[in-house]
C-alpha cells in the first residue's frame, strides 16, 4: 500500500501503536515533501516564509508547542503581554518577508495605488491605537497584522504566482492534515479536549481549537477542489494521474477532519463557496454579469428570509439551538457595554481589562471574541472601521469580477473564497489578528503591480530555470 493509502487506512479504523503511527506519519510527510521538491516547481526558497506563517497561524503558537513538548519557554505571562517568544517569531518572519520584497524591488506607491481601500483600512487601524486603553498592546498587535500583506506579496512576487499559491497550500496540507489525524487518533491528550461549558468531547488536531481546525479544513478543502478542477484540464499523463490521486487522498482526509471538527459554520461556508465556484464554470453563466447575479442572489435570499424564515430551517438542519450556542446572548451583552460608537475602543482592544471581566460574569466560560467579524470590527474600530471594512470587501469583489475576464481560474478561486469569508464572519470572527482566513483574504483582495526583480533565496531545483529567464509579472 502506498503512503497515502496507509494514512487513509488509519482514518478507516486501522489501529497502530502511537509510536509506530508517529514514525509512519513523519515518513509520509517526508515522502510528500520529497515528491514536491523532485517536481522542480518554478518557485524560490522565499516561499518558506509564508509557509511557516501559514503553519503557525493554522495550528498553535511556537510557545504552545514548546510547552506541549515539555519546554515551557516563552509562555504568555498575561492576556495583555502575550508571549515574547511568539512575538519574536512573528517579527522575524515579517522582517524576512520585508527583506525579500525589498530585494525584489517592490514599488510601494503602485501597491498603494492598486489597493487604496485596503491600505486605508490598515492606516485607520494604526490610528485607532491612539484611543486604545492599551496602546502598547494595540501597537504590538498592529505590527503583527503587517505580516498579512507582506506574506501575500512574497507569494505574488514568485516567478509563477499560481504555482506558488498551489505549493503553499499543498505544503501546508502536507503538515497540517496528517499530523491532525495523528494527534486526534493516537495522541488525544494533545489533539482532543472537552468543551469548557458543555463538557462534550472536541477534536482539535494540531489547531488551538475546533473552530480553527474547521477553518483549516475550509481553506484546504476549498483549495484542493479548485486544484482538482485545474488538474483535470491538463493533458493525460502519469504526472496528472498521480496528482489526481494525491488530491483525492487529501480530500478524503480533510473530509474526515471536517466531520470530526463538527464546525457547522465552516461546513456551510465550504459548501456554499464550492457551489459558487462550480456555477461560475457553467457555460451559460456570463462572466461579465457577475454583479447582476450577485444582486439577484442577495434579493432572493432576503425575500426567502422575510417570507419563510429560511435561517431557522438552516439552523434546525445543522442541529443548532436558536441561540447559536449562546452567540446571540453574547452579542446582546457586548452591545450593552458602553463604547464610542463612531471610533470604537481602539484597535483589537475590546477584549482587554474590565470588559473581559464584565462579559465573564454569569458565564461558565470566558469569551475572548464576539463570534461575529462585523460586530468585532464595530466594537474595536467603531462605525468608521466597519464602513471601511465593508468598503474593502466591495473593492475586493470589484477586482475579482474584473479578474474573472482575464484569469478565470484564479478569479473563481477568489470569488468563491470571498463568499466563504463573508459568510463565515456572520457567526465567527476572522477579520482580526492572525486568523488564517484573514491571511487568505489578503491573497484574494490584493492587486499587485508589474515588477521585475532578481530572484532571492532560490531553491537548487529552480536555480537553473531562473538563470535562463527574466520573470515579468502581469497586473490583472
- pLDDT tens across the length of the chain (476 residues): 555 555 555 555 567 899 999 999 999 999 999 999 999 899 999 999 999 999 999 999 999 999 998 888 877 766 677 789 999 999 999 999 999 999 999 888 889 999 999 999 999 999 999 999 999 999 999 999 999 999 999 999 999 999 999 999 999 999 999 999 999 999 999 999 877 656 678 999 999 999 999 999 999 999 999 999 999 999 999 999 999 999 999 999 999 999 999 899 999 999 999 999 999 999 888 888 888 888 788 788 778 767 777 777 677 766 677 777 788 899 999 999 999 999 999 999 999 989 988 998 888 788 889 999 999 999 999 999 999 999 999 999 999 999 999 999 999 999 999 999 999 999 999 999 999 999 999 999 999 864 444 444 444 444 444 444 444 444 43
Contacts with 178 (C-beta within 8 Å, 6 or more apart), sequence order: 7, 25, 28, 29, 253
Q: Which three cell numbers stand for residue 166?
A: 498551489
In a domain, 473, yes or no: no
Angstrom CA distances, 376 to 242, 348, 389, stand at: 44, 9, 11
Could you give the dihedral angle defined by the CA atoms of residues 353, 434, 129 and 153, in that order, rounded to the nearest 10 degrees?
A: 180
3-state secondary structure of 204: coil
In a domain, 476, yes or no: no
- Residue (of 180, 175, 174) closest to 260 by Cα position: 180
Q: Which three cell numbers stand for residue 398?
A: 470589484
Cα separation, 239 vs 243, in Å, equals 6
Q: Is 475 exposed, middle or buried (0-12, 13-18, 19+ CB in 10 A)?
A: exposed
Beta-bridged to residue 376, according to DSSP, are none
What total of structural domains would you count in the chain? 1
DSSP strands (E only) in 119-227: 192-194, 201-203
In a domain, 475, yes or no: no
In a domain, 159, yes or no: yes
- pLDDT value of residue 6: 54
Could you give the dihedral angle defined by the CA atoms of residues 146, 270, 266 and 140, in that order, rounded to the nearest 10 degrees?
A: 0
In a domain, 472, yes or no: no
The owner of cell 507582506 is 150
CA angle 91, 155, 56 (to 5 degrees): 45
Which ranges in 12-134 belong to alpha helices (H)?
Answer: 18-38, 48-58, 62-68, 84-103, 108-114, 116-127
3-state secondary structure of 200: coil
In a domain, 293, yes or no: yes
- Contact indicator for 129, 347 with CB cutoff of 8 Å: yes
Contacts with 259 (C-beta within 8 Å, 6 or more apart), sequence order: none
Q: Is 120 exposed, middle or buried (0-12, 13-18, 19+ CB in 10 A)?
A: middle
Question: Would you put residue 15 in left (φ > 0), alpha (ψ -120 to 50) or beta?
Answer: beta
Q: How many CB atoms lie within 10 A of CB 269?
A: 27
- pLDDT value of residue 313: 65
Cα separation, 120 vs 110, in Å, equals 14
Q: Which three cell numbers stand for residue 21?
A: 503511527
- pLDDT value of residue 4: 59
When computed from its CA atoms, the radius of gyration of the chain, rounded to whole angstroms, is 22
In a domain, 294, yes or no: yes
3-state secondary structure of 337: coil
Contacts with 214 (C-beta within 8 Å, 6 or more apart), sequence order: 258, 261, 263, 265, 266, 267
- pLDDT value of residue 471: 44
- Residue 441's domain spans which residues? 3-467
Instruction: Report the first-to-last Cα separation within the chain, whole angstroms.
Output: 44
Amino acid at each position: 500500500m502506498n503512503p497515502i493509502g496507509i494514512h487513509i487506512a488509519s482514518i478507516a479504523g486501522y489501529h497502530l501503536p502511537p509510536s509506530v503511527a508517529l514514525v509512519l506519519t513523519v515518513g509520509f510527510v517526508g515522502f510528500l515533501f520529497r515528491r514536491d521538491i523532485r517536481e522542480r516547481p518554478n518557485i524560490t526558497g522565499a516561499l518558506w516564509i509564508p509557509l511557516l506563517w501559514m503553519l503557525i497561524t493554522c495550528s498553535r503558537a511556537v510557545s504552545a508547542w514548546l510547552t506541549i513538548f515539555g519546554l515551557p519557554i516563552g509562555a504568555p505571562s498575561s492576556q495583555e503581554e502575550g508571549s515574547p517568544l511568539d512575538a519574536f517569531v512573528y517579527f522575524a518572519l515579517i522582517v524576512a518577508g520585508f527583506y525579500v520584497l525589498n530585494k525584489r524591488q517592490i514599488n510601494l506607491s503602485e501597491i498603494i495605488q492598486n489597493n487604496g481601500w485596503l491600505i486605508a483600512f490598515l492606516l485607520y487601524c494604526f490610528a485607532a491605537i491612539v484611543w486604545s486603553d492599551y496602546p502598547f498592546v494595540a501597537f504590538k498587535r498592529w505590527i503583527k497584522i503587517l505580516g498579512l500583506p507582506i506574506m501575500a506579496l512574497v507569494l505574488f512576487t514568485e516567478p509563477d504566482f499560481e504555482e506558488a499559491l498551489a505549493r503553499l497550500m499543498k505544503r501546508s496540507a502536507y503538515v497540517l492534515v496528517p499530523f491532525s489525524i495523528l494527534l486526534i487518533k493516537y495522541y488525544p491528550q494533545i489533539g482532543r479536549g472537552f468543551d469548557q461549558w458543555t463538557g462534550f468531547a472536541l477534536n482539535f488536531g494540531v489547531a488551538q481549537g475546533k473552530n480553527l481546525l474547521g477553518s483549516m479544513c475550509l481553506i484546504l478543502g476549498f483549495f484542493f477542489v479548485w486544484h482538482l478542477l485545474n488538474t483535470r484540464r491538463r493533458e493525460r499523463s502519469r504526472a496528472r494521474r498521480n496528482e489526481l490521486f494525491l488530491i483525492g487522498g487529501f480530500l478524503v482526509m480533510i473530509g474526515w477532519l471536517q466531520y470530526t471538527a463538527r464546525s457547522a459554520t465552516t461546513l456551510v461556508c465550504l459548501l456554499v463557496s464550492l457551489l459558487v465556484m462550480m456555477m461560475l464554470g457553467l457555460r451559460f453563466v456570463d462572466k461579465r454579469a457577475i454583479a447582476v447575479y450577485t444582486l439577484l442572489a442577495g434579493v432572493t435570499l432576503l425575500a426567502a428570509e422575510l417570507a419563510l424564515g429560511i435561517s431557522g430551517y438552516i439552523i434546525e438542519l445543522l442541529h443548532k439551538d436558536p441561540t447559536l450556542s449562546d452567540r446571540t446572548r453574547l452579542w446582546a451583552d457586548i452591545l450593552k457595554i458602553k463604547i464610542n460608537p463612531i471610533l470604537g475602543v481602539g484597535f483589537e482592544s475590546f477584549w482587554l481589562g474590565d470588559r473581559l471581566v464584565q462579559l465573564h460574569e454569569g458565564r461558565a466560560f470566558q469569551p475572548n471574541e464576539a463570534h461575529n467579524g462585523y460586530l468585532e470590527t464595530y466594537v474595536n474600530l467603531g462605525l468608521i472601521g466597519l464602513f471601511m471594512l465593508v468598503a474593502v470587501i466591495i473593492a475586493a469583489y470589484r477586482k475579482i469580477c474584473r479578474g474573472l475576464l482575464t484569469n478565470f481560474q484564479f478569479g473563481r478561486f477568489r470569488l468563491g473564497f470571498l463568499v466563504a469569508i463573508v459568510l463565515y464572519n456572520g457567526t465567527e470572527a476572522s477579520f482580526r489578528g492572525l486568523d488564517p482566513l484573514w491571511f487568505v483574504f489578503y491573497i484574494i483582495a490584493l492587486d499587485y503591480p508589474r515588477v521585475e526583480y532578481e530572484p532571492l533565496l532560490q531553491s537548487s531545483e529552480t536555480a537553473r530555470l531562473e538563470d535562463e529567464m527574466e520573470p515579468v509579472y502581469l497586473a490583472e
